[in-house]
């Protein structure tokens, strides 16, 4: 796997699966070696690649919802005259894109106001052009870094419902073990069970309070800004 796949696709999927792994360790604390062999076999047979693809698909599927909530793709929004925070920088980017893509004519403020949909089509085309021209990681390392950050957060948000479900399942499994040991068997519960329960509680708070559309938007805007800034190096 390349770095983007590991960071943006595999790691969110592993975070979703982690509560189940913690519950497994809590129930079978003395059998780490056996489980290591099983998970190693799963990884060797392509399980990690499957997880990465699963994370990607859910993230891409939910991305449309994010764009609707934000009022368009971040790159498109930054290129709009009506949303410009720095008109000097905006016009410089427009002029550079006009030079790079002669077949595309950048809309004027009046043309954008008259037909916003048509203007967004032009801006979308510019964003697609820049994404293709900045795929060289060594030449555009900052763009690649921000793309990894955005992909990680987008896919994590896309998997949020599943993450909440697996976290609750993990907490229930650990809770059932504690009740079984303390109320029925009257034996000591391994400390790892309490650690696993605490980590699952932290994960549940993360899913509920941290992984939000605004959290994703921060990196999306940073990626869009770096992508447009790459015009100066093309």
Closest CA to 187 of 195, 179, 176: 179
What is the pTM (predicted TM-score) of this model? 0.87
> What is the domain count for the chain?
1
Tokens standing for residue 47: 């399980």
Tokens standing for residue 26: 């809590």
Q: Provide long-range contacts, Cβ within 8 A and 24+ apart, for 213-216.
A: 213/66, 213/69, 213/70, 213/157, 215/153, 215/157, 216/66, 216/150, 216/153, 216/154, 216/157
In the three-class reduction of DSSP (H, G, I as helix; E, B as strand; rest coil), residue 62 is classed as: helix
Residue-by-residue pLDDT tens, the chain, 234 positions: 688 888 888 888 888 888 888 888 888 877 665 555 556 655 555 556 777 788 888 888 899 999 999 999 999 999 999 998 889 999 999 999 999 998 889 999 999 999 999 999 999 999 999 999 999 999 999 999 999 999 999 999 999 999 999 999 999 999 999 999 888 888 888 888 888 889 999 999 999 999 999 999 999 999 999 999 999 888
What value, to the nearest 5°, has the Cα angle with vertex 210 and ends 207 and 215? Answer: 125
Integer angstrom CA distances of residue 177 from 31, 84, 149:
16, 56, 37
Instruction: Identify the domain containing residue 185 by its residue range.
Output: 3-233
The pLDDT assigned to 31 comes to: 63
Q: How far apart are CA 152 and CA 56, in angstroms?
A: 9
């Amino acid at each position: 796997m390349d770095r983007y796949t590991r960071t943006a696709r595999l790691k969110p999927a592993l975070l979703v699966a982690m509560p189940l792994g913690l519950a497994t360790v809590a129930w079978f604390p003395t059998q780490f070696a056996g489980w290591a062999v099983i998970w190693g076999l799963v990884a060797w047979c392509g399980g990690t690649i499957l997880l990465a693809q699963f994370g990607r698909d859910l993230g891409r599927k939910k991305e449309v919802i994010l764009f609707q909530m934000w009022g368009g793709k971040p790159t498109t929004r930054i290129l709009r005259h009506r949303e410009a925070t720095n008109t000097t920088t905006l016009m410089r980017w427009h002029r550079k894109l006009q030079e790079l893509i002669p077949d595309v004519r950048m809309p004027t403020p009046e043309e954008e106001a008259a037909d916003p949909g048509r203007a967004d089509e032009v801006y979308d085309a510019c964003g697609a052009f820049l994404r293709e021209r900045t795929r060289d990681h060594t030449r555009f390392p900052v763009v690649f870094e921000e793309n990894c950050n955005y992909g990680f957060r987008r896919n994590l948000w896309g998997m949020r419902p599943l993450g909440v479900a697996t976290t609750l399942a993990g907490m229930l499994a650990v809770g059932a073990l504690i009740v079984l040991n303390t109320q029925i068997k009257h034996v000591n519960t391994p400390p790892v069970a309490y650690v696993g329960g605490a980590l699952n509680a932290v994960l549940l708070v993360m899913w509920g309070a941290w992984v939000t559309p605004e959290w994703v938007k921060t990196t999306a805007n940073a990626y869009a800004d770096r992508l447009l800034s790459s015009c100066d190096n093309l």
